Every structure is written in C-alpha cells, then in structure tokens.
Amino acid sequence: MAEDLIHLLPDSVANQIAAGEVIQRPASVVKELVENAVDAGATSIQIRLTDAGRTNIQVIDNGKGMSETDARMSFERHATSKIKAPDDLFALHTFGFRGEALPSIAAVSQVELRTRRAEDELGTIIHIAGSKLEGQEVGMCPMGTNFQVKNLFFNVPARRKFLKSNQTELNNVLAEVERVALVHPEIAFAVYHNEVELINVPQATSRQRIQHLFGKKLGQELLSVEVDTTLAKITGCVGVPESARKKGAHCFFFVNGRYMRHPYFHKAVMEAYAHLIPAGEQVPYFLYFTVDPSRIDVNIHPTKTEIKFEDEQPIWQILMAAVREVLGRSHMAPSIDFDLADCPDIPLFSPDGASVPPPMPTVDSSYNPFKQSSPDSYKRPSVNWESLYKGAERSTLGDKIYFDDIPDVDLPASSPSLFASDAASAPLPSASSVMPSDANGSMLADKCADCYQYKGSYVVTSIKSGLMMVDQHRAHVRILYHRYLTQLNEQRSASQGMLFPEMLTLSMSQAVEMEHLLDDFASLGFDISNMGGGTFAIQGVPAGIEGLAPTALVEHILSDTIEKGDVSREEIHRTMALTMARSAAIVAGQILSVEEMTQLIDELFACDMPAYTPDGKKTFVVIDEDEILKRFR
C-alpha cells in the first residue's frame, strides 16, 4: 500500500511561511507594533532602533496594557481582541484584526514583552525566540507595553541577507512612523536611532503635526479642505499651485484613520489642478476620508494599504469638486491685474465742490498728414532685376550668396521717410559691416555658414557625409553629465559662495538620506551645513548654475537619489550627475553665438559616448548628402 503524501506542516515552519507575508523588513515590525499601541489607547509612543532595526527594535507605549493571560495569548496565531464575529469585519475601527502580527514577529526574531495594566500591581514578562516560549514571569513594569525585538530574521538567514542598507531600512521605518503620526496627532511620538533623536513631536492638531514633521514652510502653503456628504466626509489640506514640484511632493490619503494608496483618487486631486500647474508636477496633500466601514474592504492585502471602495466613482467626483472649490475660494485662478503705474490721478466726486472745467485741446485744422508737398516728389525705386536673376542662375547648391552679390538699389535722395529718421534713405549695408569679425579682423562668414541654429533648439553644421543636426539641450546634458561625474569621482569641486544662505527644510526620512549624501553634494560644488531638526543651510553652489533655485535643485537631486533605492555608490553618483546636468543644461529656445555653437559641438565629441544622453536619447542626427541630393532631383 502506497504511503500518504499529504501531511500537516510543523507550527514553526507554518509560522515562518506566514511571517514572510506580514514581516518583510524592520519597518514592518515597527508598523505592526505602533498600530497595536494606537489600538491600545496610548497617548505617547517611543521607538528605539539599533542598526536600523536589524539588531534591536523597541516600542514603548503607555496604553492600557495586558493581563498575564492576554500577554501569553497574543502570540498565538489568529488570536485577537479586535473582532469576535464575521460581521465585525464590516465595522472595523482598529488597525489590526487578523491576529497575525505578533506571531509572525515572534517566528523570525527574539522577543521580550513587558506589560502591565493600571489595576495590576505587577506586570508580565515573556521571552520568545523563533515561536518557542523560553520563559514567562511576573515582575515590575510601568503601565503600558514594552516590546523589544532582537536579531530580526536570526533564523531566516536568506531573508536577513537580502535586507537593504541601514540607510534605506531607516528611511522605511521613518516613513511608517510619519504615516501613523499624521493620522493620530493626539499621540506624541519619539524615534531614536543608535541613541540619536530623529523625531520628537508632541500632541498637536493635524495642521501642527504636518508642520512638525515637514516644516513650517509646507504648512504655510496648505489650504484647508472640508466637505461632508452622505457617502463620505473629506477633511484635510491641499497645497497651493505654487507648491507643485516634479518629485518629492508629500501625498497622503487616509481612510477611517488608516493610511492607503489610491492612484484613482490621486488622479482626482491632480485633475482639480488642471491648467494651474505644469504637466507632470504634483502638489502636496493630506486628505482624510471618513466612510461607513461596511462600504469599504481593507482585507485585501497583508499590509492593509490597498482599500476597495463600493462608491469609488461618486467619491472621486466629490473629491475633485471639493478641491476645486477650495482653489476657487482661495482665488488661485488667475485674475486681471491692471497696471496702475503712470496713470493720472482722478479726483473724487464732491457734490459741494466747484465743478472743474474739462481741458480744451487746441487743434490745427489746416494740418493734413496725407497731404504731400508735391505729387511728383516720390518715385518708385528702380531695381535691375535682370542682373539679379542672372546672378541667382549662376549660383550652385554649395555657393554662398552675400550682400555684395545684390545690386544696389537706386533710391532718390529726396524720397520722403515714413519715420522721423533718414534710415530708409541710407544705402544697404555690405557684408563687411554686418558679419562678425575675430580679433584679427578676418571674416567669419565661413564659420557662420558651418554652424547655424535652427529654431533656437538645434545646431546645424556641415560634415563630410552631409548635414548634422545637434539637439543643443541633450548635447549639453551629455557634456555636463561627464563633467559632474568626473567631479564626483575625483572629489574635486568649484564652489561659489552665496551672499545669503538659503534654508532647506526636509522630512526626517529625507534628512537622514541628506546626511548620507553631504560629501557627494560637496563634490558637486555645494556647501551645505546640517542645522539640526531636518533643516539644512545652503551656503555655496556650483559655479555656472546661475538662474537656478538652489533649494529646488537640491530637493530634486535628493528625490531622484531616494527613488533609486539601495544602490551602489557609483549608481548614486550617476543619478546625482544626471539630475544636476538636466537642471543646469541650456534649454530649447536659448540663442547661441557662433563661438558657443562651435564650443558645444567640440565638447560633445570629446565625451565618451557623444551620440546619446546618459538616459539613452539621441543627441544628434546626420542627414546624408545622397538624401539631400535625392530631394532636389
């Protein structure tokens, strides 16, 4: 008889498999423990990290705590105090409800739990490692709960090996804390990493919490939104159009106190800003939805950040209309602004005052602007058209025609001018008077013919095989990318000091990344000082970026670097060099001199790969001579 093949997995293996969905990185542990603290009614939550959570994660709250039995049961799978019946899934008012977080954490780490209720004299202390209970005892504990998670993924070496750098993992932890802190301003939060304080925000209002986390400047650029309908209540803030940026905008949606990602609703907000912000840019917003729990489904993903709405389309319309109404009330639409400079003073009407007679201008009735002194005083200028056409017939495709080839126009000396000058009666200039000359006085006509700017965007020049058209913006991007990358690799910079330093305020997750990149910014030529609290002072900028806003440029470079994630140092340098080159390169429509066009082409072909930009776009195209001749046959 054949042996049965199907059998039950051991609890330790099943717990590790389930933990792979819930606990993916240290940020997942912090998220679950902080949400449990919020559900426990805590008013103060403290998070302490060591090595970005790899070595130690400690979450301390002053919530209601747990009894001895509840403390032990909390580590059993599917044990929860949030729901009791199936109908409770459609009336959720808490973060957790599955009973999977603590068992999953205990399955891949070493956990120590200390908890005590207000009515108990002594608390409970539990030690668990890899889902195995190592000890439980009674001891002195402060009221609330203290979770200490050590050596995350100690028994899953493959998962621990593929964790990102400490910098990236810390950024993810801070992002999770920011999401919970934004939706619960009544709770004080503090975050410490390696005994260094990163976040410390007191209890506040929603508007104050945004300013505490992201700076006062952002708080001053927000407009309040509030709309209440039968389907949903929407409150929060949206940014003014001037706060729009391509990357790094703080966009947050919350529903019933839970953070969510919703691209469809994001499109509704951006639709409200149509024709107010440039294409491709975003505005910051912090919007809170209050919806009947029975009309949404949060149980579709382990992270609970994806939520389904039963009334998605009507809420989309409500959201877009609410944002548009706020923008309209705040006069964000362009208005007519009359120029009052040099306008005459109009006296106010006074019924008791004497009337002022209107001014009486004098008119010379004998003046006639169309009357000429003599009907024969003007004669049509004569042009020798025959010689002109004969000169054109003799010209070939490669010949050059200068002003000297055009016959002089015979204008009578007494011909009248329509303007108050004698410019019309002056002879036409010759080539020597209009073409630029070099220091030796030699003509630059040949150089002008070799380099020509087409529509302010392309440089056209002749080469041996035909014509070459160079995109001036892309060519300059390639040149600057090569230059900035060399500066970063060789750690050399040419900085230009600023008369008045500009202050840059970042969120804590951005500030952590910024500290990591200060040396690289210095290699580019930036002089940036950390003032603490997420504030940085830009005291110097690279030479040659006149006209660019330093704060916006630094934020753009920082956003692109964060977007790349955990990559090598060389990749970070390439990203910074490309972002800097795109921002500082000459734009389409900028007029270039002959010398500038020549220098642009020379520097382009001195680069390693002149044919393409660093992101793979063509810098020039060549039109073969055969193609040109074919079009004239």
Q: Where are the beta strands (DSSP E) in 506-557?
A: 527-532, 535-542
Say if residue 561 is in the same domain as residue 587.
Answer: yes
Residue for token digits 């020049």?
461
**Tens digits of residue pLDDT in 338-364:** 555 556 666 655 666 566 677 777 777
Cβ atoms within 10 Å of 508's Cβ, excluding its own: 23
Output the domain CATH number for residue 485. 3.30.1370.100
- Residue 391 lies inside a defined structural domain of this protein: no
278 lies in the same domain as 157: no
% the chain with pLDDT above 90:
31
Q: What is the mean pLDDT of residues 384-391?
A: 56
The CA distance from 56 to 167, in Å, is: 15
Q: Where are the alpha helices (DSSP H) in 347-462?
A: 385-394, 431-434, 445-450
User: Which of 329, 344, 360 is at the close of a domain?
Assistant: 329
In sequence order, the 6+-apart residues with CB closer than 8 A to the CB of 195 are none
Q: Note the pLDDT of residue 217.
A: 84
The reported pLDDT for the residue numbered 446 is 38
Out of 84-93, 141-150, 599-608, which region has the weakest mean confidence (pLDDT)?
84-93
Name the E strands within 363-483.
451-454, 458-463, 466-471
Q: What is the C-alpha separation between 53 and 76, in angstroms, rounded?
A: 24
Judgement on whether residues 174 and 274 belong to the same structural domain of the protein: no
Residue 426 has pLDDT above 90, yes or no: no
Secondary structure class of 195 (helix, strand, coil):
coil
DSSP 600: H
What is the DSSP-derived secondary structure letter of residue 43? S
356 within domain boundaries: no
Is residue 505 a part of any domain in this protein? Answer: yes
Question: How far is Cα 291 from Cα 294, in angstroms, rounded to an integer?
Answer: 8
Same domain, 28 and 157: yes
The verdict on 240 and 322 lying in the same domain is yes
Contacts of 277 (CB under 8 A, 6+ apart): 241, 244, 283
* Boundaries of domain holding 151: 11-201
Closest CA to 50 of 195, 198, 199, 162: 195
36 is a domain residue: yes
322: pLDDT confidence band, cut at 50, 70 and 90?
very high
- Asked whether residue 21 falls in the same domain as residue 146, the answer is yes
Which of 267, 296, 329 is the last residue in one of the domains? Answer: 329
Classified as helix, coil or strand, 614 is: coil
Domain count, the chain: 3
**222 domain residue, yes or no:** yes
Encode pLDDT of 115-164 as tens digits. 999 999 999 999 999 888 889 999 989 999 999 999 999 888 888 888 88
Residue 247 is classified by DSSP as S
How distant, in Å, are the alpha carbons of 144, 177, 379, 471, 473 from that of 617?
Answer: 59, 40, 58, 10, 11
- Confidence band (pLDDT; 50, 70, 90) for 8? confident
Mean pLDDT for 226-236 is: 92
Looking up residue 20, the CATH number of its domain turns out to be 3.30.565.10
Same domain, 130 and 84: yes
**What's the CATH number where 247 sits?**
3.30.230.10
318 with 256, same domain?
yes
In a domain, 296, yes or no: yes
Structure confidence at residue 413 (pLDDT): 43
Q: What is the mean pLDDT of the chain?
A: 79
E strands, 338-465, in order:
451-454, 458-463
CA–CA separation, 215 and 503 (whole Å): 11
Reported confidence tier of residue 400, pLDDT bands at 50, 70, 90 = very low
Q: Quick one: pLDDT band at residue 411, thresholds 50, 70, 90?
A: very low
Q: For residue 126, give the nearest of 134, 106, 143 by alpha carbon.
A: 134
195 and 233 belong to one structural domain: no
Burial category of 197 from C-beta neighbours within 10 Å (exposed 0-12, middle 13-18, buried 19 and up): exposed
CB 580 within 8 A of CB 480: yes
Cα three-residue angle 104-106-110, rounded to 5 degrees:
145
Q: Do 543 and 593 share a structural domain?
A: yes
- What's the CA gap between 297 and 262, in Å, rounded? 13
> Residue 78, by phi and psi: left (phi above 0), alpha (psi -120 to 50) or beta?
left
Q: Dig out the tokens for 167 from the structure.
A: 């910098």
- Tokens coding 626: 């055969």
- Whose tokens are 């964060």? That residue is 562
User: Which among 153, 185, 201 is the end of a domain?
Assistant: 201
Query: Is 417 part of a structural domain of the chain?
Result: no
Least confident of 204-218, 377-391, 462-476, 538-552: 377-391
| One domain for residues 54 and 159 | yes
| Closest alpha carbon to 22 in 302, 306, 307 | 302
pLDDT-wise least confident of 49-58, 368-377, 603-612: 368-377
Q: Which two tokens stand for residue 404?
A: 């000297």
For residue 79, being part of any structural domain is answered with yes
Output the pLDDT for position 412: 41
> Is the same domain home to 49 and 78?
yes
Report the chain's terminal Cα–Cα distance, integer Å.
89
Cβ contact 13:21 at 8 Å = no
**Crossing angle of the two packed helices 26-39 and 166-183, in degrees rounded to 10:** 20
Q: Is pLDDT above 60 for 246?
A: yes
Give me the mean pLDDT over the 269-296 stretch. 90
For residue 462, give both structure tokens. Answer: 């002749």
Candidate from 116-120, 176-180, 428-432, 582-586 with smallest mean pLDDT:
428-432
Distances (CA, A) of 615 to 129, 303, 488, 514, 582: 48, 34, 19, 24, 11
Per-residue model confidence as pLDDT tens digits over 521-568: 888 888 899 888 788 999 988 877 777 788 888 888 888 888 777 667
Task: Read off the amino acid at residue 307.
Answer: I
Query: Helix 594-604 to helix 472-490 angle, to the nearest 10 degrees?
Result: 60
Q: In the chain, what's the furthest Cα-to-Cα distance?
A: 130
